[in-house]
A and B are shown apart, each in its own frame.
Chain A
Amino acid sequence: MEMFLMAAVMSVLGVAVCAALFAAATRGEHVEASRPAEQPALAARRFFASAPDAAPAGEPVAIGAQRELVPVEALMLQIEQHIRLEQAAAESFLHTPTEQSLHSRTASPLVN
């Protein structure tokens, strides 16, 4: 009887030790698993942080900051192209006034 109780206590202790070790081991895996996912985002932020007007590292990068990288001459060409396309779309609507032509999308780089 004593032997049986001793074996039972040892088994319970063994199971408890195993459970504790398992829990400790899996907690470590969660931490390790979460790190690789963060690394690319941090790397990307550091890349944009090199631009003069970019947001500080660790903060989301605004679209405006990325557009700052476009030379003003290129931006002016995009604006001009946008106006021409929008004007053509407006004239097309006036030629054939339908709701579809009023809301038609152009290939303008500023709206796509």
Chain B
Amino acid sequence: MTTVRPDLLVGLAEEQASRVLELGSHTTLSAGDVLFNLGDAANSLFVVERGRVALTLPMKVRGKEQDVLIEERAAGQTVGWSALVPPHRFTLKAAALVDSEVVALPRTALSEHLSAHPAVGYLVARNVSAVVGQRLQVFQTMWLREMERVVELSRA
């Protein structure tokens, strides 16, 4: 287990964090293994324990679909927050960049645990919001920068 406190569990007491992680199962991935595909049912949330996981989207390049890197997640980071947000479908593809290990937290078990422990539920929801919010802000900024270039090119 990583010594880094997972971003999902920031603010929780040691015992509270351990109980959440006990809900999950450890999964080992070899480089290139797919954790989930775009559109799959998001039945689990993953915490990266070791290695690196690439989040990609299919982009059409010269008429052929290619996986384009969107984000990279490392030890201590959460992958697959779609498991906590309706309609519970993954909006990206995740694959191991190198040999990696993740803890898969089943959506149902996690939801029940968070409902039963509202204080823990609040902190986890806050942490998920931080992950989602950070990605939203980054992509909002990237979108603006790309739009500026599109406008520049259209006026050239």
- Which residues of A line the B interface, CB within 8 A? 68, 72, 75-76, 79-80, 83-84, 86-87, 89-91, 93-94, 102-103, 111
Contacts and interface: CB of A to CB of B under 8 A. Distances in A.
Interface in B121-152: 134, 137-139, 141-142, 144-146, 148-149
Nearest to A84: B69
Interface string B12-47: 000000000000000000000000000000000000
B80 to A, nearest CB: 19
Given A83-B68, A111-B149, A91 B61 contact: no
B66 interface: yes
Given A72-B62, A80-B69, 4 more contacts: A75-B62, A89-B141, A94-B134, A102-B141
Contacts of B142: 86-87, 90
If over half of B's interface residues share one DSSP class (helix, strand or loop), that class is named, otherwise mixed; here it is: helix
Nearest to B140: A90
Contacts of A89: 141, 145
Contacts of B149: 111
B70 interface: yes
Given A87-B142, A90-B141, A94-B141, A76 B148 contact: no
Interface string B104-131: 0000000000000000000000000000
A91 B135 CA distance: 10
Given A90-B145, A102-B144, A111-B149, A76 B66 contact: yes
